Amino acid sequence: MLLLSIIAIGICHAASLALNANGSFDEHGVCQCSLTLPDTTFPADRMEILEIENSKLTASVQQQIIKIESYQVTLTGYLQKLTNLTKRLEIEEMGRSYTELDFELLKLEIKELESLVVQLKASINGSNTLVESLFVQMQNISIIVNQLESYDKNNVLAVRREMAILRKHLEECKIGQVLPPNPPSFLGTCKHGGLANISKPFVVQLNWLGFSYKFGGWGKDSFTGAEQDIHWVAPLQTDGRIMNIMRLYPSYDDLLLYKRPTDKIFTKNLPYSQIDYTITGQGGGMIVFNNSIYSNCYNTRDICKYNLDTNAVERKVLTDATFNNRFSYSSSSWQDIDLASDEDGLWVIYSTEQNAGNIVISKLGSISLVVEKTWSTSQYKTSVTNAFMVCGVLYATRTLNTRKEEIFYMYDTKTNKEGQLSIILEKMMENVQSLSYNPNDHKLYMYNDGYLITYDLSFKTLSNMA
């Protein structure tokens, strides 16, 4: 409402019809009128309503903002949780990248199966539909794995299962064939004429700590007649030097599935997380013999014997032995002192200054750790990639290329004679970190850039001897 004052003399009347006037005289004779202006002139009411609406709206917006802010708090919480999860995943991946590692293993297995199928194809006269179809399936799987790697990383297990079925088919296929009679096996004895040949590599598994643990050793108890179900795996720390942990699996199947492990952690005098250097091993030259693990003791020329039943540790100096990378092998550091075993017992392969860095072989008492006899060879140790003993004969390997290794040198401790030979070993990965022989199954156990590989050895019959 607007209030106007109109000065009028005599009369007090409405000035115009348009004005809905109502007036009265005050004590000074001034007419005062109250006018109601038509709505069209100024929409004061609506303005008022608008103002009210506006303030209502503002309040509501304020409420919404408060709501949004609370959503934001919740959202930030979720985001934090997500970030936390991502971080955890990243940490796990750093420690052990499951997908990458599983794919690497798969690829190796495929490679191995492919070579088996090719072998089978070659050995079968003419065409064989079963083998042909296996071959196609193999190629299909290879393609699938490559696709999977870029799309779906969770199907690794499914593919591995399929691989296992294929492997079984292959074996059935092999059995169906007429095979040449098996050569005599001479298991556990030395009634043969020495090493004749070596099989294709058989990929067993990746070590349980993963891809980045490239150094170490593995196998079964190499004492003739020892229990043969238990498998041991001893990856070195990633420095390729410290051996302070090993894992025992009660059976081969458990090893394949990483199941039911027993860990041996060499920390007798210190808490779990610290390294006890008084009983730590050094390098990948370790061997399990008669339920003890023998190794070069850390930072010394001593031999350490760790009893796997009692956890008791004994050590003895290996006189004159050089150590700490003075004369290690060419493809693995810290392996100046390499333990070995065969049908005759326990051996140590090392080097001395007196023998100018050439390989020295000693027969070792497994209980006393005393050297019983020593042989000096003329083979320079650092030009060899690894060595093993079979029936008192040392065999040494060297690298031909990234895929092939050659057994090129031998030394017979019974005749004190050395010789050259050439038996080719195919490798799955480039570097051989350890190689040891088990007289109980005539197999070589190789630790190949973190992968566990075996080979079957075949021997000449005595009549074949040169």
Ligand X SMILES: *[C@@H]1O[C@H](CO)[C@@H](O)[C@H](O)[C@H]1NC(C)=O
Query: Which of 32, 97, 128, 197: binder of ligand X (CB under 6 A)?
Result: 197
Q: Which is nearer to ligand X, 37 or 275 (CB)?
A: 37
Q: Which is nearer to ligand X, 22 or 72 (CB)?
A: 22
Residue with tokens 């020593």: 374
Does 440 help bind ligand X (rule: CB under 6 A)? no
Number of residues that bind ligand X (CB under 6 A): 18
What span, in angstroms and rounded, lies between the C-alpha atoms of 232 and 130? 37
Q: Which is nearer to ligand X, 324 or 366 (CB)?
A: 366
- Tell me the window of 49-57, 194-202, 258-266, 272-280 that interacts with ligand X (CB under 6 A): 194-202
DSSP secondary structure letters along 362-381: EEE-TTT--EEEEEEEEEEG
Q: Which of 410, 442, 444 is nearest to 427 (CA)?
A: 444
Q: Is the separation of the CB atoms in 295 and 313 below 8 Å?
A: no
> What residues pair up with 417 in beta bridges, in sequence order?
412
Does 74 help bind ligand X (rule: CB under 6 A)? no
Q: Is the separation of the CB atoms in 235 and 134 below 8 Å?
A: no
DSSP secondary structure letters along 11-69: ----S-TTSEEEEEE-TTS-EEEEEE--TTT--HHHHHHHHHHHHHHHHHHHHHHHHHH
Query: Which of 126, 180, 181, 271: binder of ligand X (CB under 6 A)?
Result: 126
Q: Which of 369, 312, 384, 309 is nearest to 339 (CA)?
A: 369
- Rounded to a whole number of angstroms, the minimum distance from the CB of residue 319 to ligand X is 21
| Residue 167 CA from chain centroid, whole number | 23
Q: Which residues, including other chains, have CB under 8 Å from residue 296's CB and lie 6 or more apart?
A: 281, 282, 283, 285, 286, 302, 303, 304, 323, 334, 335, 336, 337, 339
State the maximum Cα–Cα separation within the chain, in Å, rounded to a whole number: 158
- Tell me the window of 2-10, 108-116, 193-201, 331-339 that interacts with ligand X (CB under 6 A): 193-201
Q: Which is nearer to ligand X, 41 or 127 (CB)?
A: 127
Q: Which is nearer to ligand X, 215 or 388 (CB)?
A: 388
Query: Which of 133, 177, 402, 415: binder of ligand X (CB under 6 A)?
Result: 133
Query: Which of 205, 222, 290, 379: binder of ligand X (CB under 6 A)?
Result: 290
Q: Which of 425, 460, 414, 426 is nearest to 195 (CA)?
A: 460
Does 199 help bind ligand X (rule: CB under 6 A)? yes
Does 274 help bind ligand X (rule: CB under 6 A)? no
- Tell me the window of 80-88, 313-321, 325-333, 430-438 that interacts with ligand X (CB under 6 A): 80-88
Does 464 help bind ligand X (rule: CB under 6 A)? no
Query: Which of 67, 88, 161, 200: binder of ligand X (CB under 6 A)?
Result: 200
Q: Which is nearer to ligand X, 123 or 262 (CB)?
A: 123
DSSP state of 386: E
Query: Which of 46, 67, 81, 160: binder of ligand X (CB under 6 A)?
Result: 81
Does 84 help bind ligand X (rule: CB under 6 A)? yes
Q: Which of 98, 105, 92, 121 is nearest to 159 (CA)?
A: 105
Does 370 help bind ligand X (rule: CB under 6 A)? no
Q: Draw the binding track, 15-34, toward ligand X (x: CB under 6 A; -: no contact).
A: -----x-x------------
Query: Which of 38, 77, 95, 225: binder of ligand X (CB under 6 A)?
Result: 77
Does 86 help bind ligand X (rule: CB under 6 A)? no
Residue with tokens 């480039």: 430
Q: Which is nearer to ligand X, 81 or 417 (CB)?
A: 81
Q: Which is nearer to ligand X, 77 or 188 (CB)?
A: 77
Does 125 help bind ligand X (rule: CB under 6 A)? yes
Does 67 help bind ligand X (rule: CB under 6 A)? no
Does 147 help bind ligand X (rule: CB under 6 A)? no
DSSP state of 274: S
What span, in angstroms and rounded, lies between the C-alpha atoms of 432 and 332? 7
Does 10 help bind ligand X (rule: CB under 6 A)? no
- Rounded to a whole number of angstroms, the minimum distance from the CB of residue 354 to ligand X is 29
Query: Which of 5, 72, 80, 115: binder of ligand X (CB under 6 A)?
Result: 80
Does 70 help bind ligand X (rule: CB under 6 A)? no
Q: Which of 200, 153, 173, 216 is nearest to 451 (CA)?
A: 216
What span, in angstroms and rounded, lies between the C-alpha atoms of 336 and 208? 26
Residues that bind ligand X (CB under 6 A): 20, 22, 77, 80-81, 84, 125-126, 133, 136-137, 140, 197, 199-200, 290, 366-367
